[in-house]
Amino acid sequence: MKHLPLFFDLTGRKVVVVGEGPSADRRADLARSAGAQVTRPLADVAEAADFRGAVAAFIATGTLEGDTMAQRIAKIAGVPVNVADRPALCDFILPAIVDRDGVVVAISTGGASPTLASVLRGRIEASLPDRIGALATLARTFRAQVNALIADPGRRRGFWRRLAEGPAARLTLAGDEAGARRVALGELDAARRRMSPVGIAHIVGAGPGDPDLLTLRAAQLLQEADAILHDELVPPAILGRARRDAELVAVGKRAGWKESGQAGWAQADIEAELVRRVRAGQTVVRLKAGDPFIFGRGGEEVDALRAAGLPVTVVPGITAALGVAASVGIPLTHRRFASAVTIVTGHGADGRAATWPALAAQGHTLAIYMGATEAASVRDRLLDAGTPPDTPVAIVENGTRPDERVSAGRLSDLARLAAAHTRGDAGPSLIIVGEVAAYAADAKHPQLAEVS
């Protein structure tokens, strides 16, 4: 390692910046942001007196002669120097910096490639949660109490790791700072009394199926979870993003399972399992296809956890109507054809076909979840409501996934189109009704489209 990375407290200390222009201005602003008292000599050439009492100097005159002269004067005064774009003249180098409200990451290539350092900074910025600084603030709030109440160094380290990775951290990153403080206080008390702290549940949307459509937070939580309770419809490609030693528990069910005698988890059993695991101290991800609050019963699970007094967060996912429509090239709204879109389900809460008003009117798009097996009923209800029989429709099975299949046609022929998507091994399907559905004929798998 050529350069030792250090974080230097510049609060109230003198820093000299020699030069004019953007490079010098950036260095002056950076030093001020760290609390330094910045001095910028007015003369074209800095003098020894300019460096008296300084702890560091930045030089960016723009010429080799000016940089070299200022560097020599600073060295004579015993002040460490950074010279812009001239590594050979530097006592220290300026790294690429990520600053998230007090959490600072510095990236250096030893002066070999500032561009590479900037590229790495961008990647780190994308991976760090925006509220990571609030988590550091939470830790600072509890530092004195932890040091006073937990004498054993190993247990103290365990507490800090849990604060950084556990329920309090996730509540902080989700913006619930009051809830995070309550959880941290409970964990501090439990650690003091050598009790097992409670865990946390995250109700997470897995999106329509393509693992690259997971949100950053969802991907992070899959790597942190002790257990993942997942829907049957969550594909293996997404489960493969989980931490290697995470426990995977399939708690889903599909339409028709009850009639065929296949076992499935009742909703009350899923809620009870979430409560049990969180009380046991686990970090649990409840992974749902699409978005947990769009026909995902996520609200019921949040209610159950809150009623038990347990911490819970919700991470939205790309719901099928948005992800699937985009995958096959269907704009749900379009300036010429549709000014509104409605998301409905082909089944009501009791399993019967839903009763719809005349939603598929001109200028309106319908996205129908879980409707393929009820295609004949869907067709009849829409026709009875006055929807023209030649209204375009599209059925998309396994949308966004490698085995995506599309059938396109007219409302009058919806039942026949749906037959290919209701076989025993069929994947999840979405029905889109409205003028915009005609765009499916030009989607990325036109050879699979059946246009009447």
Backbone angles phi, psi at 105, to 5 degrees: -120, 130
Helix, strand, coil proportions of the chain in percent (round to 5)? Answer: 40, 20, 40
Residue identified by tokens 């990325």 is 444
Q: How far apart are CA 202 and CA 167, in angstroms?
A: 9
Q: Which of 14, 253, 288, 291 is catalytic?
A: 253
Q: How far apart are CA 394 and CA 371, in angstroms?
A: 12
Q: How far apart are CA 358 and CA 385, in angstroms?
A: 5
- Known active-site residue 444: no
Cβ atoms 102, 139 nearer than 8 A: no
- Known active-site residue 253: yes
**Can you name the residues that pair with 367 across neighbouring β-strands?**
343, 432
Residue identified by tokens 């059946």 is 450
Cβ atoms 53, 15 nearer than 8 A: no
Q: How far apart are CA 332 and CA 345, in angstroms?
A: 16
Token pair listed for 119: 């590229």
What is the per-residue DSSP string for 159-215?
A: HHHHHHHSHHHHHHHTT-HHHHHHHHHHHHHHHHTTPPPP-EEEEEE-BSS-GGGS-
Q: Which of 231, 245, 258, 444 is catalytic?
A: 231
Instruction: Report the candidate in 33, 24, 8 with the shortest Cα–Cα distance to residue 59.
Output: 24
Q: How far apart are CA 395 and CA 249, in angstroms?
A: 30
Token pair listed for 205: 């949307």
Instruction: Report the candidate in 376, 393, 387, 374 with the shortest Cα–Cα distance to residue 449.
Output: 393
Token pair listed for 75: 């060295």
Active site residues: 231, 253
